[in-house]
Amino acid sequence: MKKSPFFPCAGARALHAPTRRDFIYGLGTSLGSVAFSSLLAEEAKKNPMAPKQGHFPEAKAKNVIFLMMEGGPSHIDTFDPKPKLEKLHLQEFVREDKQASAMQGGKRYYVQSPFKFIKAGQSGADMADNWTHLAKVADDLCFFRGCTVDSVNHPTAMYQMNCGNRFGGDPGIGSWVNYGLGSLNQDLPGFIVLPEVSYPQGGAANWSNGYLPANFQGTPLRAKGSPILDLTPPAGVSAERQRKNLDLIAKLNTTHAAQHPGHDELAARMDNYELAFRMQMQVPETLDLSKEDAKTKELYGIGNDATDSFGRKCLLARKLIEKGVRFVQLYNGSWDSHDYIERAHGNLVRGVDQPIAALITDLKQRGLLESTLIVWCGEFGRTPDNGVRGGTAYGRDHNANAMTLWLAGGGCNAGHTIGATDELGMTAVEGKAHVRDFHVTLLRLLGLDDNKLTYYHAGRFKQLSQFGGEVIKKLIA
């Protein structure tokens, strides 16, 4: 049954006491780890979301804004120019490795980019020339062209990028970050998601807490209508009456918890009731953008048809970070341009270009960029070939072997481009690293060690990277 982070239903699944095996394995491998685990367990019982010290205190990043371009943006048409495709445009495409394209059917043809490229900033970053606003903050970006994933299917690739596991059921990155560092604001969720009206492929499992305690699940804010249902108390119900109701529920739950110790789901449910009550005080003001000055709204493109929606998300992300929310994830889509890529990608870039540049500029002006890590990525890249659907309906298919993502702020190696793909953009050939290595690097920028940030579940200690990875040192300043 689906869990609600704030208003758990009475029909939630039955709670079971931990087994003897759970207890023994939970002790760890030495007396030192037993003592440490005991201390952590006691602290977690008091407040699982309390701020915690990371493994690397010198890390600069304290918060994350994760910009997820769902659908697979084409690196070839955004930040990784391939001049050779101009010479090969519409020539028949033949893969030397004999591996079929993701969506292959019939003859395939090389497709050049419909966009021209520029060198932006003092760093000379490669950008398609329709990134007119982002080009102005190019020197704040660190591009990574060496990332690879394992799937060319949207749901499984989304799960892998967001959770480390292609098959769902594991905690999202935001859940892991809050598990490791806690939240800086106990009156708001530590992991907030700003999705589209239509959820991304794979649904809410992209921000699930998985096997971590329920406190760490992502909280989506609705794209239309009230951001959170039941946020406003019913007419005639005062705060005093709510408080009395919660006190009675807490008394009953506390009695039940004493009779059935070790049930973290009940503890999380009790915490969520209290958090929901506190959120009614903070959330309406936090989500209210009307008090932002006209200059700020204009900066983010609010009021402009093309940029209003994502502009509001980016401005809200800044406000949430200011309020101490640890991890905010924004969705934009769909970048799944199998045809008419000039029109499709052109419209998408137009919608996010100004808001993203504004977010970086705004954070920088407020002294928050150094402590806020911004991530821009999709779930995979795209191929240099496609079928011809008539006229200029050129697009691209899915590509797990090459993609571009970028970082800003948070101690990343700004002003640099790391890694490279081959001359067609089909495969990463320099600085090649699997997405698990990117996850390990992201955690390191936040002061967390993936090999130490583990949780015992299903007979072993699990981690975001699944079974370990290597820090991509060149991405860190």
CA distance 73 to 334: 9
Burial of 432 (0-12, 13-18, 19+ CB in 10 A): middle
Half-sphere exposure of 144 (CA within 13 A, CB side): 29
Residue that is written with structure tokens 């209508």 in the block: 225
Spans of the chain, pLDDT less than 70: 1-45, 95-106, 223-247, 249-251, 253, 257, 259-260, 262-284, 387-392
Q: How many CB atoms lie within 10 A of CB 270?
A: 18
Q: Taking a C-beta distance cutoff of 8 angstroms, is the pair 3, 214 a contact?
A: yes
Tokens coding 393: 């309906």
pTM of the model: 0.83
**DSSP per-residue letters across 49-64:** TS----S-TT----EE
Report the pLDDT value the prediction gives residue 48, as an integer from 0 to 100.
86
Q: What gap in Å lies between CA 90 and CA 386, rounded to an integer?
A: 9
Residue 125 CA neighbour count, 13 Å, CB half: 31
Between the alpha carbon of residue 174 and those of residues 22, 146, 382, 405, the distances in Å are 25, 23, 26, 18
384 alpha-carbon distance from chain centroid: 27
Question: According to the model, what pLDDT value does residue 99 have?
Answer: 47
17-38: pLDDT as tens digits: 444 444 444 444 444 444 444 4
How many other CB atoms are found less than 10 A from the CB of residue 173? 24
SS3 at position 425: coil
Tokens of 209: 């807490």
pLDDT of amino acid 94? 74
CA distances to 121, 270, 301 from 221, in Å: 35, 21, 21
pLDDT, residue 385, reads: 87
Distance CA 263, CA 224 (A): 35
Check residue 203 and report its DSSP letter: G
Mind listing the pLDDT tens digit for each residue in 271-323?
Answer: 665 555 555 556 667 788 988 999 999 999 999 999 999 999 999 999 999 99
Distance, CA of 446 to CA of 134 (rounded, Å): 24
CA atoms within 13 A on the CB side of 44: 20
Domains of the chain are: 19-47 (no CATH), 49-224+288-475 (3.40.720.10)
pLDDT at 79 (0 to 100): 98
The pLDDT, as a whole number, for residue 216 is 95
Instruction: Provide the pLDDT for residue 3.
Output: 44
Do 351 and 306 meet the contact criterion of CB atoms below 8 Å apart?
Answer: yes
Q: How far apart are CA 63 and CA 410, in angstroms?
A: 8
**For 277-427, where are the E strands, in sequence order?**
327-333, 372-377, 381-382, 385-386, 398-399, 405-408, 416-418, 420-421
Name the token pair of 81. Answer: 């120019």
CA 84 to chain centre: 33
Q: What is the DSSP string of 346-387?
A: HHHHHHHHHHHHHHHHHHHHTT-TTTEEEEEE-S-EE-SEE-
Q: Name beta bridge partners: 428.
A: 421
- State the Cα–Cα distance between residues 15 and 338, nearest whole angstrom: 47
Residue 67: enclosing H or E segment and its boundaries?
strand 63-70
pLDDT of res. 424: 96
CA angle at 28 for the pair 178 and 36, rounded to the nearest 5°: 60
CB neighbours of residue 419 within 10 Å = 21
Phi and psi angles of residue 422, each rounded to the nearest 5 degrees, phi first: -70, 180
How much is the pLDDT for 92?
Answer: 87
